[in-house]
């Protein structure tokens, strides 16, 4: 492959060498440099690729792509761009033959609901006979292959590589979660989404390692609607006008209010032994009764987004209804069957907003008692601990404080921080640092009509302690407890 062909959609200047150089591979990780590679120098949080240019020359790289002045060895072709992350995205698209143009691309952004909405859409499209790839927080799905995820939105090279594999595997569509970081760092640049979906926005991911303030967070989320052809947005959200302010796409709204293009009426909570769900009347551009096998108001919003998208894609009502009535998303209000007369569920709620939303939703089902088990991650903002503790104490009947991923902190230090918040509310609490023992406590004490929520881990199957990820899947722990192990 010729270097300039990789750069055909990029703004660049060749400041040294020959842009007609033959290239063997495109890399952004210095450890993967080989003879005749082009090495794109990315400035990351921990490392700056510009510091590895000498290493690239030693390994026989043919070219480097830079965004700032730096010392360059002789013999290397040097391409200068404004932003190497954007260049990597554009070059990756070219390197893999622009696979997004062979797929219907669907991007979903928002603080909450991305994962569930992504799986809803995939399930409906697959049920309708359309092979659909998925990229998200839990995994990447390419045909029968499932690859555990590192980031919600991978680096642009991995996105394009996944698109190529999906297209080659016969996928017609790809649905992916698009994080604010992914938009900010150009991980989804280099192509235009066919559809962009906005779920909701709340104050989260604000801090020195993510977004400097709420304005920056909103701006990054809004970028999706300057990079898609059709926008489908939650018209009830307080921030929606700011999200779509500079949109370049067509916009359709969904929500509970009848001012939206698509909306829900007559919402009904459905409860049976070991089952919680929701049903409603769909109104607006389509009208029929919908039932979804996941509880809560946010399920109404997530399913409205999925239904709106599927209408644009020509999916018939029967496929939508059958798929939504049998859906389960790992770690998202996931009900685990037990012989007990209580309901046991696993959910990823790991901050105050998501925990409040979850507990408020479950309270609407009028349980006898709510048991809320959770911990907080180590080496993360302490404010999250206080806030989650207070939310649980106010909204659950019993808070069971345990360990999550302590990382490099002592578990009891984290638990004591959580208790600062717990003490602000009226709820009862117990502290059990060992997560398996904490789950066992809940299962042994829960009675008829109670709902036990294991919050925070969700789809995760590990516990991170002092830099080591130990296998720990709550589903396995539940089974071990049931078997008396």
Q: Select from 452, 295, 261 the least CA-distant residue to 367.
A: 452
Six-digit token string for 191: 């192509």
pLDDT band at 328 (very low <50, low <70, confident <90, very high): confident
**Taking 90 as the threshold, does the pLDDT of residue 432 lie above it?**
yes
pLDDT at 275: 81
Whether residue 420 has pLDDT greater than 70: yes
Q: Is 166 exposed, middle or buried (0-12, 13-18, 19+ CB in 10 A)?
A: buried
Which residues neighbour 160 within 8 Å (Cβ) at sequence distance 6 or greater? 89, 92, 93, 95, 96, 99, 100, 190
**Range 409-417 average pLDDT:** 98
407 is in an annotated binding site: yes
- Ordered by start, the domain boundaries in the chain are 3-84, 99-324, 334-482
Q: Is the pLDDT of residue 206 over 70?
A: no
Angle at 172 between CA 166 and CA 178, to 5 degrees: 65
113 is in an annotated binding site: yes
Q: Number of C-alpha atoms within 13 angstroms, CB side, residue 143?
A: 10
Residues in contact with 381: Cβ distance below 8 Å, sequence separation at least 6, in sequence order: 207
Residue 380 annotated as binding?
yes
- Which of the four pLDDT bands, split at 50, 70 and 90, describes residue 402? very high
CATH topology of domain 3-84: 3.40.1390
In tens, the pLDDT along 77-94 reads 999 999 999 999 999 999
77 is in an annotated binding site: no
Q: Distance between CA atoms of 188 and 25, rounded to whole angstroms? A: 20
Per the document, the length of the chain is 485
CB 388 within 8 A of CB 357: no
pLDDT recorded at residue 115: 92
Q: Is 114 a known ligand-binding residue?
A: yes
Average pLDDT, stretch 214-222? Answer: 89
**485 known member of a binding site:** no
Residue 406 is assigned to a ligand binding site: yes
The answer to whether residue 150 scores a pLDDT higher than 90 is no
The strand pair at 370-374 and 428-431 is best described as unpaired
Q: In the prediction, which pLDDT does 213 show?
A: 74
Percentage of the residues of the chain whose pLDDT score is greater than 70: 98
Is 110 flagged in the annotation as binding?
Answer: yes
Taking residues 230-235, report their average pLDDT. Answer: 99
According to the annotation, is 356 in a ligand binding site? no
Is 297 annotated to bind ligand?
no
Nearest to 107 by CA among 144, 48, 153: 153
**What pLDDT, on a 0 to 100 scale, did the predictor assign at position 46?**
82
| Close Cβ partners of 224 (under 8 Å, ≥ 6 residues apart) | 107, 109, 178, 183, 188, 193, 196, 198, 231
Tell me whether residue 187 is annotated as binding: yes
297-321: pLDDT as tens digits? 889 999 999 999 999 999 999 999 9
Does 116 show up as a binding residue in the annotation? yes
pLDDT value at residue 189: 98
What SS3 string covers the chain? CEHHHHCCCCCCEEEECCCCCECCEEECCHHHCCCCEEEECCECCCCEHHHHHHHHHHCCCCEEEECCCCCCCCCCEEEECCCHHHHHHHHHHHHCCCHHHHCEEEEEECCCCHHHHHHHHHHHHHHCCCCEEEECCCEEEECCEEEECCCCCCCHHHHHHHHHHHHHCCCCEEEEECCHHHHHCCCCCCCCEEEEEECCCCCCCECCCCECCHHHHHHHHHHHHHCEEEEEEECCCCCHHHHCCCCCCEEEEEECCCCCCEEEEEEEEEEECCEEEEEEEEEECCCEEEEECCCCHHHHHHHHHHHHHHHHCCCCHHHHHHHHCCCCECCECEEECCCCCCEEEEECCCCHHHHHHHHHHHHCCCCCCEEEEECCCCCCCHHHHHHHHHHHHHHCCEEEECCCCCECCCHHHHHHHHHHHHCCCCCEEEECCCHHHHHHHHHHHCCCCCEEEEECCCCCCEEEECCEEEECCHHHHHHHHHCCC
Could you tell me the pTM of the whole model? 0.87
pLDDT band for position 210 (50/70/90)? low
Cα–Cα–Cα angle for 219, 176, 140, rounded to 5 degrees: 135
Domain 334-482 belongs to what topology? 3.90.190
Kindly report the number of other CB atoms within 10 A of residue 356's CB atom.
19
Cα 294 to Cα 252, 297, 299, 316, 331: the distances in Å are 24, 10, 6, 21, 12
Residue 100: Cβ within 10 Å count: 22
Q: Is 338 annotated as a binding residue?
A: no
Mean pLDDT score of the chain, rounded to an integer? 95
More confident residue, 330 or 400: 400
Question: Residue 207: pLDDT above 80?
Answer: no
405 belongs to an annotated ligand binding site: yes
Span 99-324: which CATH code? 3.40.1190.10
| 255, 220 contact by CB (below 8 A) | no
Q: Known binder of ligand: residue 115?
A: yes
Residue 227 CA to residue 249 CA, distance in Å, equals 8
Quote the CA–CA distance of 215 and 239 in Å, as a whole number: 11
pLDDT in the model for residue 274:
74
CB atoms within 10 A of CB 430: 15
Task: For residue 153, say whether it is annotated as part of any ligand binding site.
Answer: yes
């Amino acid at each position: 492959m010729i270097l300039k062909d990789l750069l055909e959609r990029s703004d660049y200047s060749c400041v040294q060498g020959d842009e007609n150089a033959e290239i063997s591979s495109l890399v952004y990780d210095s450890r993967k440099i080989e003879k005749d590679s082009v090495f794109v120098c990315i400035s990351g949080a921990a490392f700056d690729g510009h510091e590895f240019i000498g290493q690239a020359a030693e390994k026989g790289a043919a070219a480097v792509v830079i965004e700032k002045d730096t010392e360059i060895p002789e013999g290397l072709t040097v391409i200068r761009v404004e932003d190497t992350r954007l260049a990597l995205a554009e070059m990756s698209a070219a390197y893999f033959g622009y696979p997004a143009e062979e797929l219907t691309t669907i991007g979903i952004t928002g603080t909450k609901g991305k994962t569930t909405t992504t799986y809803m859409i995939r399930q409906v499209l697959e049920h309708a006979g359309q092979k659909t790839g998925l990229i998200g927080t839990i995994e990447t799905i390419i045909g029968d292959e499932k690859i555990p995820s590192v980031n919600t939105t991978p680096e642009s090279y991995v996105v394009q590589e996944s698109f190529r594999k999906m297209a080659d595997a016969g996928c017609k569509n790809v649905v992916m979660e698009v994080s604010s970081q992914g938009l900010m760092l150009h991980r989804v640049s280099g192509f235009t989404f066919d559809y962009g979906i906005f779920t909701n926005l709340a104050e989260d991911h604000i801090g020195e390692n993510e977004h400097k303030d709420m304005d920056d967070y909103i701006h990054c989320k809004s970028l999706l609607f300057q990079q898609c052809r059709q926008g489908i947005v939650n018209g009830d959200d307080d921030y929606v006008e700011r999200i779509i302010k500079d949109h370049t796409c067509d916009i359709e709204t969904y929500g509970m209010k009848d001012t939206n293009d698509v909306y829900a009426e007559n919402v009904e909570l459905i409860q049976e032994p070991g089952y919680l769900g929701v049903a409603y009347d769909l109104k607006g551009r389509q009208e029929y009764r919908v039932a979804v096998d996941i509880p809560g108001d946010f399920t109404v919003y997530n399913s409205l987004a999925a239904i709106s998208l599927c209408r644009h894609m020509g999916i018939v009502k029967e496929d939508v209804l059958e798929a939504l009535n049998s859906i389960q998303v790992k770690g998202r209000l996931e009900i685990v069957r037990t012989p007990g007369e209580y309901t046991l569920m696993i959910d990823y709620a790991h901050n105050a907003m998501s925990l409040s939303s979850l507990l408020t939703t479950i309270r609407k089902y009028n349980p006898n008692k709510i048991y809320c088990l959770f911990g907080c991650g180590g080496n993360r903002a302490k404010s999250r601990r206080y806030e989650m503790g207070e939310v649980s104490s106010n909204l659950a009947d019993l808070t069971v404080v345990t360990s999550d991923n302590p990382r490099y902190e002592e578990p009891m230090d984290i638990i004591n921080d959580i208790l600062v918040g717990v003490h602000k509310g009226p709820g009862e609490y117990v502290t059990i640092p060992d997560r398996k023992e904490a789950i066992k406590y809940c299962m042994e004490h829960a009675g008829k009509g109670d709902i036990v929520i294991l919050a925070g881990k969700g789809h995760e199957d590990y516990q991170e302690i002092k830099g080591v990820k130990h296998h720990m899947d709550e589903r396995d722990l539940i089974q071990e407890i049931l078997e008396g192990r």
